Structures are given as structure tokens and as C-alpha cells.
Amino acid sequence: MAQKRHIIMIAVTTLLLLICMFFLYKNVQENQRYEQFISAQLSESLSALVTAILANDEILQQYTSGGRESLLPEQATNLCANFTTVSTKYNDLLNTAIHLNKVTHADINPILGNVAQDITFFLARSVIGNGLLGDCSMSESTISLDATQSMKLTEIRELNNQWSEIVKKYVPEATSLSVSEVDWNDLVNQKVWIQLLEELSVNLEQSGMTGINRFFN
């Protein structure tokens, strides 16, 4: 009888162990799927942020070399759309970093996203001439710029150029036209995106950016 109870205990213990192992395996699978999803989201946001900054750098250099008196409609539209991307993707990356406990609000200044949005509003309303904030729809003709607009675009070019230099430092393979040569998953796994956020934040603080409405008011 004692032997029978011993066998039953072993069987029950074995069954419980197998159940625990099953749930542990399912939990590991779930965590892996979660990590893969987060990694994919981070890769997409990082790729979009980098590309937008580099593309704006090229457009603003073309504007500077063109005499600073006019802006082609497609240049204004692309700048506006790209700064929208910079704002949203920077905020996405920052919020994910905070959610994953990679940084805190004290580590990274969130103002970059607001400044990029501020620039979008300036381009949409003051340069392109659309009535709706953030509307980057193309104008019908070449845009003539007054002295104030030219001055602000020069400041925007200088600021974006600083961001571009930081981006090139961490993602030298990327260009404004192609990101196919970049291993974004590796950059995410190596925490390069955290370093990029941190340096962009430091640069913004050093540039004296403490709030929005510097460009649009």
C-alpha cells in the first residue's frame, strides 16, 4: 500500500513538473514574440528617423546653395513631411526606451520631438501657406521667402545638420535614399538607438533649445 502511494506521488509530481515546464515554455515563447515585435517596431522607427534627418539635410543644403530666396514646392513639402516623421519617430523611440526602462525622463530631453513638430507647423503654415497646422500639402508654385523666413530656414538647416552628423556617426551606412545596407536589428540589439537618442538630446540642450515656438509663432 505504501509503495502504491509512493508511485502515485511520483506520478503526480511528474505531472505537475510537466505542466510547469509547459507553461514555462509558453511563457518563453510569448516573451520571444514580444521581443521580436518590439524589435521590429524599433527598427522601423529608427530607420524612418534616420532617413528623414538625412533627407532634410540634403534638401536644406540644396536650398542654401540656391541663394536662399525661394523654395521649390516639393522641397517645402518634403521638408514638412520629414520633420513630421522626425517628431513622431523620435517620440516613439523615446517612449519605448522609457517603457523598457532603458532611460528615464531625466536621461533624455524629450524636447526634440516638440521642436521638430514646431518646424513642421512653421513650414506648413508660414512657408507653404496651408491653413491647417501640420498640413504639408504641396503649394502650386515656387515659394518666395521673406527675410524672416530665410533666417529661420537657415537656423533649421544648422540644427538639422547637427542631427545629421550625429546620425552619420552611429549609422554611417544609411543615406537619404536607401537604408537597405543597414542592419537595423543589430543596431537595436546593440543598444545603438539608445546612444543615438542620448546624443541627440545632449546636442539639443547644447543648442539652447528649451521649449517650442522658436520657429513657429
Kindly report the pTM of this predicted structure.
0.79
15 inside domain: no
160 inside domain: yes
Number of structural domains the chain divides into: 1
19 inside domain: no
155 inside domain: yes
Other Cβ atoms less than 10 A from the Cβ of 157: the count is: 20
Between the CA of residue 60 and those of 159, 161, 195, what are the distances in Å?
A: 11, 9, 26
Predicted local confidence at residue 78, as pLDDT: 93
215 inside domain: no
pLDDT tens-place string over residues 139-184: 777 788 888 888 899 899 999 999 999 999 888 877 666 566 677 6
Distance CA 35, CA 46 (A): 16
DSSP 126-180: III--SSTT--PPPSSPEE--HHHHHHHHHHHHHHHHHHHHHHHH-TT--SS--T
- Higher-pLDDT residue of 151 and 25 is 151
120 inside domain: yes
Q: Which three three-digit cell numbers place residue 123? A: 513650414
How many degrees, rounded to 5, is the angle at CA 78 between CA 211 and CA 213? 15
5 inside domain: no
Segments forming the whole domain that contains residue 66:
38-206
pLDDT tens-place string over residues 76-120: 999 999 999 999 999 999 888 888 888 776 677 788 888 999 999
Average pLDDT on 39-43 reads 74
Predicted local confidence at residue 7, as pLDDT: 65
At 144, phi and psi to the nearest 5?
A: -85, 135
69 inside domain: yes
Residue whose C-alpha cell reads 522601423 in the numeric block: 44
